[in-house]
Structure 1
Amino acid sequence: MAGGRREPAGSRLATVAALAVVVVAPLVPGVLSAGSPAALAGLPVEAIAVVLLLLALPARRARIAVAALFGGVVVAAAAFAALDAGFRATVDRPFSAADDWPQLGAAVGVVADAITPAGAVAAVVGLVALLVAVAVGLAAAALRAGRAAHSSGRQGRLIAATLASAWILAALLGAHPVPGVPLAAADAADTIATTSSRAVESVRDRQEFERALRSDAAASLPPSSLLAALHGKTVVVAFLESYGRSAVEGSTFSPGVDAALAQGQAVLDRTGYTAESAFLDSPTFGGVSWLAHSTLQSGVWIDSQQKYDRLTTTGRLTLARAFGDAGWRTVAVVPSNKGPWQVGSSFYGYDEMFDSRTLGYRGPAFSYARVPDQFTWQTFHDRELTPGHAPLMAEIDFVSSHTPWTPLPSLVPWSDLGDGSVFTAQAASGEAPVVAWQDPKRVQQLYGESVQYTLGALFSYLETYGTDDLVLVVLGDHQPARIVSGAAANHDVPITIIAKDPTVFASISSWGWDAGVRPSSDAPVWRMDAFRDRFLAAFSPGSGLTG
């Protein structure tokens, strides 16, 4: 009732809907964070506060400003909660507003590979428009709820005051109508506060990071001892995309990967190679592979894009630069790169870099993985391992096991590779990502098959082209996304050293790694940033460096 007149039924329904929106919307961040609708059982302080303020403020502009602030805060909190949930599900850490904005661009790039660039742009524009529309709608709902409370006179003020008192009492008593869900809810406010606090922690973490950058015992290693135990060897650091611990143990797809490793071990036994394996704790999870690459090479923990950007402006000694200083030719093969990679030379110190433009591949793209791993091996071998080649160190990124894991290539005779056109039929007959990703079990199966292909290409290369002077460091960059690795998966990735020369393994005898290409469940686990110094110490006798 207002002035003795009853509101039209449609107007009353609109008012009830507005009140419901004002009450429910601030609870959405809690629903997103918990992954459960149970958070809707709370009484949101944000809704009570906005109604009380709208009742108290006489000026129309002030009420509009308060309603707009309410809409903006709730939408921002929901967006932060969604990003946080997404980061936890993919890279296994919370979203940091101070560090992670650049990674959203990388995520858009992956989406573009799956649904076309135009589709990705349309999705981003649509999402931004939706967020703005929701914020405006929330503000309008708050204004209507405020008007309804005001027009109800003393009764409206009494209801608002009663709800505020109930919230305070519930907070004091710690009331939980649903286990784990407080009645006195403040989900939107808590999300904004947590996001802000996390940003402050990120700033402190970066200060610690700067101190770590300034401390580098390896920087003063004398060239005469640097990597002397590997003199005359061809050393290849082979990163296998998304090759995580879940690939080799405790999953529905690990038996297939284990079978591929067993077949690979048989190849090594036939061809005279030895292998030792362990695990590394990666700084990233589910994606952002370059953080792992830079951590391994620099000996510094790089777990954010900001740290990576800062690191690559320094003169920190990388493994590649150490090999270069010791007389090796250094090469990077990065099939996923589509343009110039400046830090490859300015920071890592590579003499030569190959990417999707320069590998000579003329076959089809397999979603994100533009170049099949087998073709990458062949091109590297043909261009760099010619008879009488100079001592060589290379990092090669093998991307066929990159999400979305479909379509997948399969091995062909090495003599048939040509310019890659042989893969055309394989890519055309593969399953589309938008179809496969409707079924988590199918995604897991495809992931396992992609790792089996990548391992098969590796062992087939060794059987076909392996040489006595080759030393391989084969490792994963990170675990696959949670949809594959599961909620309890850690950040461990397998690492294996493969060589024929027994002196290589004598140099690392103190490491205590497992024999063979599959690390056992109790194999040693190192942080990935520890590898550089331990590697340099093991193969630089007399340097005095301890790893």
Structure 2
Amino acid sequence: MSHTPPPAASSASPGRLSALPWLLRFGLAFGVLNTLLTFENRWPGFGLLYMPRLSFELCIGVAMLMAWVSWRGRLSAAATTWLSAGFMALVAVRYAFVTVPAVLGRPVNVYWDGRHAGELLRVAAESMSAWQLAAGLGVTVVGVWLLGWIVRTAIRTLAASLTWPVGRPWVLGSVAALSASFVAYVPDVRDTRWFFSLPLTPTIVNQSRLLAQVWLPERVEAALGPSPAFDGGLSGLEGPQGRADVVLIFAESYGAVVFDQPDLWAALAPSRAELAQAIALSGRQVVSARITAPTFGGSSWLSHATLLSGVNTAAHADHHLLLASQRQTLVSHFARNGYRTVGWMPGLKRPWPEGAFYGFDRLADDAGMGYRGPDFGYWRIPDQAAMALLHEQELRFDADASDRKPRLVVFPTTTTHAPFHPIAPLMDWHKLTAADGGYRMEDVRTALANPLASQRPTPNYLASMRYQYGWMASYLKDMAPRPLVWVVVGDHQPPALVSGQGATWDVPVHVIADDPALMRILLAGGFVQGLELPAAALGPMEDLTPVLLKLFDGAPPEHAEPIPSVAVGAPADLPAGPLPSGT
């Protein structure tokens, strides 16, 4: 009987012989999957950029996969297919997660971006020839198939490597250490996530919650609360000269701090007096109040949505939910009553599909209002130039145009936006609609030569406010059409660098009109005469919406006292004596 001798014993242990190939297989599979969940956008555009970061979701997924193969022994073909499909979906989410902010300038919104994806694809298809479209579809199909094969192969390799008992403790220990590092992170105190890519899970959870709420109307109602009644007929805007145009100006960073802090109040008193005098010289009157904004120092869109809808959107989730709803707004209310509605937004630089919620007849952004002058910083169109273009294109009254619709204009300003630099000079209005935009490059160089706001934030802010008061005074006195209702609302307080510690969230609201009956309605509702503010706020910003509805609908005031007559050139809220020169 023959006997086969055993092989010669190796001096190296079996574990050492298997460790290197195991590490290579595991590392390659993990590296491929990790890269597909951590890439970034190659700005600008739709390209991708490799980023040496770790995916926290993949680390947790490896631990779960190890538990599965420890229990079942292997990964079945069906399970591999499902895992590959789920992972491909995560890759698609990652692409949207990093690309949408680079292209649209905001985080991904599945509800709105999903609604417009088909339209974008249709436009892209119509811009290509048949062979280009066929080639593009072919490349897409091959690319998706190839990516699916890579993902499936990497998952199978990863699962097979996790069946080796010797390697499991090392994997489990690494996952535990990484998880502890991830959890130990404390914002602005202890940075233990610098080697992690931003996780996708919060985005998926938030977008899933939004879709669930949108698809269940009762949840929308519960989350947002009731809207005011948009059921009036705007009879309060009727007059001998026809229906009044309404211009709603969201004055950027115009906070009650300029009235509450004595030094800021005194610094702006001459410019404010000039505005008051211009209002009186134009034959109009002004009443003012203070309200509490839903945001502070930024996120202006929360105030815009709150006032236009009458629904509190202080929470970003509620803002997203509102824009995905069918709620009525001041815009839809005016449109239903025969007004042409215009969104005049010089600060809007990227596509804004959510703007469809408001239903403006015209939404003019940075590129769509026809500004031809030089750029004044990032917010390149000065407010006066934007107002000149608005007047020329929408508000200028043509006596021969008997069928002209009255206008509702929503105009968020930008010049008083941080960093309050550079600030354009005040110009002759007619020059601003010239072919060259009116400004000269010397104007830009002079504006840029002023110190940055980081060096002196309060003086720069005050300069921007003087500019705001100045162009408003000039327009109301020399250019404004009749009849007109001009509503100026601060969207939020300036940043804490200007407002200081402990500032309220209050903002001014001024209503300027040439109809005394409208002013009596507001005085009955808690406004005061002039540009100064009362001590107490009317309430949160959403409470202003029904007040404006009452004003526009001509509801009779209760216990209203008549407004004292104001002599032209001597407004009641101004001291006697000569007024300071303009800015």
Normalised by the size of structure 2, how large is the TM-score? 0.57
- One-letter amino acid of the structure 1 residue matched with residue 294 of structure 2: P
Distance 1:437-1:70 versus aligned 2 partners, 3 A rule: farther
Cα deviations by residue, 1:492-545 (Å, 9 ceiling, x for unpaired): 11000001111111232321211112214x15432101111222133325799x
Of residues 386, 391, 412, the one that matches 1:397 is 412
2:237 to 230, 238, 251: 230
- 1:423 CA displacement: 4.7
1:68 maps onto 2:78 in alignment: no
Question: Which residue number corresponds to residue 194 of structure 2?
Answer: 132
| Whole-angstrom CA distance in 2 between matches of 1:437 and 1:261 | 22
Note the C-alpha offset of 1:355. Answer: 1.4
CA distance in structure 2 between the partners assigned to 1:337 and 1:512 by the alignment: 34
What corresponds to 2:385 in structure 1? 375
Describe the SS at the equivalent of 1:301.
Answer: coil
Q: 1:274 aligns with which of 281, 285, 299?
A: 285
- Give the counterpart letter for 2:483 in structure 1: D
| 1:107-122 equivalence runs, <5 A | none
Query: Where in structure 2 are the equivalents of 1:24-35 lying within 5 Å?
Result: none
- Give the whole-Å Cα distance in 2 for the aligned partners of 1:246 and 1:513: 18
Q: Any gaps of 5 or more consecutive residues in structure 2? A: 1-168, 558-583
* Cα distance in 1 between the residues matched to 2:389 and 2:270: 27
Is 1:312 aligned to residue 348 of structure 2? no
Query: Deviations 1:131-172 (Å, cap 9, x if unpaired)?
Result: 535x89xxxxxxxxxxxxxxxxxxxxxxxxxxxxxxxxxxxx
8 Å contact kept, 1:238–1:474: yes
Which one of the candidate residues 500, 505, 525 is aligned to 1:491?
505
3-state SS, counterpart of residue 539 of structure 2: strand
Distance 1:242 1:366 in 2: 18
Query: Which of residues 540, 550, 561 is equivalent to 1:527?
Result: 540
**Which of residues 323, 330, 337 is equivalent to 2:334?**
323
Indicate how the Cα distance of structure 1 residues 214 and 488 shifts in structure 2: closer, same or farther if over 3 A, else same: closer
Counterparts of 2:410 and 2:292, CA distance in 1: 19
- How far apart are 1:413 and its partner, in Å? 1.5
Contact 2:181/2:193 (<8 A) preserved: no
Q: Does 1:288 align with 2:288?
A: no
For structure 1, list consecutive stretches of 5 or more residues without a partner in the other structure.
1-58, 83-126, 137-194
- Structure 2 distance, partners of 1:268, 1:255, is 20
Q: How many angstroms does 1:251 deviate by?
A: 5.5
Match of 2:491 in 1: 477
After TM superposition, give the deviation of residue 427 of structure 1 in Å. 2.4
Alignment of structure 1 residues 444-459 onto 2, 5 Å: 444-459=458-473
Cα separation, 1, equivalents of 2:437 and 2:266: 30
* Shift in alpha-carbon separation, 1:228–1:376, aligned structure 2, 3 A: same
Q: Is the 1:409–1:426 contact (alpha carbons within 8 Å) kept by the matching residues of 2?
A: yes
Give the whole-Å Cα distance in 2 for the aligned partners of 1:376 and 1:436.
Answer: 23
> What whole-Å deviation, never above 9, does each CA across 1:212-266 have from its counterpart, x for those lacking one?
64633515x2xxx422111211111011110001122306433222321111001
Matched, 1:253 2:268: no
Partner of 2:375: 365
Partner in structure 1 of residue 360 of structure 2: 350
The corresponding residue for 2:13 is none
Amino acid at match of 2:517: T
Distance in structure 2 (CA, Å) of the matches to 1:541 and 1:466: 22
Q: 1:423 to 1:356 in 2, by over 3 A?
A: farther
2:526 maps to 1:505: no
Kindly indicate whether the alpha-carbon contact (under 8 Å) linking 1:398 and 1:454 is maintained by their aligned counterparts in 2: no
Q: Distance in 1 between matches of 2:176 and 2:353?
A: 48
* Contact map agreement 1:492 1:525 (CA 8 A) in 2: no
Within the candidate set 77, 83, 90, 2:186 is matched to 77
Whichever residue aligns with residue 538 of structure 2, its letter is V
1:174-213 alignment to 2 at 5 Å?
A: 210-211=221-222, 213=224
What is the letter of the counterpart of residue 69 of structure 1?
A: S
Is structure 2 residue 447 aligned with structure 1 residue 436? Answer: no
Q: 1:423 to 1:515 in 2, by over 3 A?
A: farther
SS in 2 for 1:256: helix
**Aligned counterparts of 1:483 and 1:541: Cα–Cα separation in 2:** 42
Q: For the aligned residues, what is the CA RMSD? A: 3.1
**8 A contact 1:513–1:523 mirrored in 2:** no
Corresponding letter in the other structure for 2:321:
R
Q: In the alignment, is residue 422 of structure 1 matched against residue 426 of structure 2? A: no
Aligned to 2:566: none
The amino acid of 2:470's aligned partner reads G
For 1:518, which of 493, 513, 532 is the aligned residue? 532
Give the corresponding residue for 1:185.
none
Q: Secondary structure at the match of 2:288?
A: strand
Alpha-carbon distance between aligned partners in 2 of 1:305 and 1:534, rounded to the nearest angstrom? 25
| Paired residues of 1:285 and 1:480 also in contact (CA < 8 A) | yes
CA offset digits 1:267-297 (Å, max 9, x no partner): 1122211000011110011111111000001
Give the Å deviation of 1:310.
1.3
Corresponding residue number in structure 2 for 1:536: 549
Larger radius of gyration: 2
Structural mapping, 1:48-67, within 5 Å:
63-67=173-177
Question: Structure 2 counterpart of 1:380, which letter?
Answer: L
Q: Is this contact kept in 2: 1:273–1:500, CA < 8 A?
A: yes
Alpha-carbon contact 1:229-1:539 (below 8 Å) kept: yes
Equivalent position of 1:95 in the other structure = none
Q: Give the aligned partner of residue 338 of structure 1.
A: 349
- Mapped to 2, the partners of 1:506 and 1:271 lie a distance apart of 19
Q: Quote the Cα distance in structure 1 between the aligned partners of 2:320 and 2:442.
A: 40
Q: Report the alpha carbon displacement of residue 431 of structure 1 after superposing the two structures with TM.
A: 4.2
Q: Give the AA of the match of 2:183.
A: V
Aligned to 2:422: 407
Query: In structure 1, what residue type is equivalent to 2:297?
Result: G
Q: Distance in 2 between matches of 1:478 and 1:270?
A: 29
Q: Which position in structure 2 is the counterpart of 1:460? A: 474
Higher helix content, 1 or 2? 1
Question: Judging changes above 3 Å, is the alpha-carbon distance between structure 1 residues 466 and 438 closer, same or farther for their aligned structure 2 residues?
Answer: closer
User: Contact 2:431–2:438 (CA<8 Å) still a contact in 1?
Assistant: no
Look up the SS of the partner of 1:526 in the other structure.
Answer: coil
Q: How far did residue 338 of structure 1 move?
A: 1.9
| 2: CA distance, partners of 1:473 / 1:483 | 27
Partner of residue 299, structure 1:
310
Instruction: Provide the rounded CA distance (Å) in 2 between the counterparts of 1:266 and 1:382.
Output: 25
Q: 1:458, CA displacement in angstroms?
A: 1.0
- SS of the residue corresponding to residue 187 of structure 2 reads helix
Q: Which residue does 2:164 correspond to in 1?
A: none
Q: Distance in 1 between matches of 2:454 and 2:360?
A: 41
Matches of 1:359 and 1:213, distance apart in 2: 34
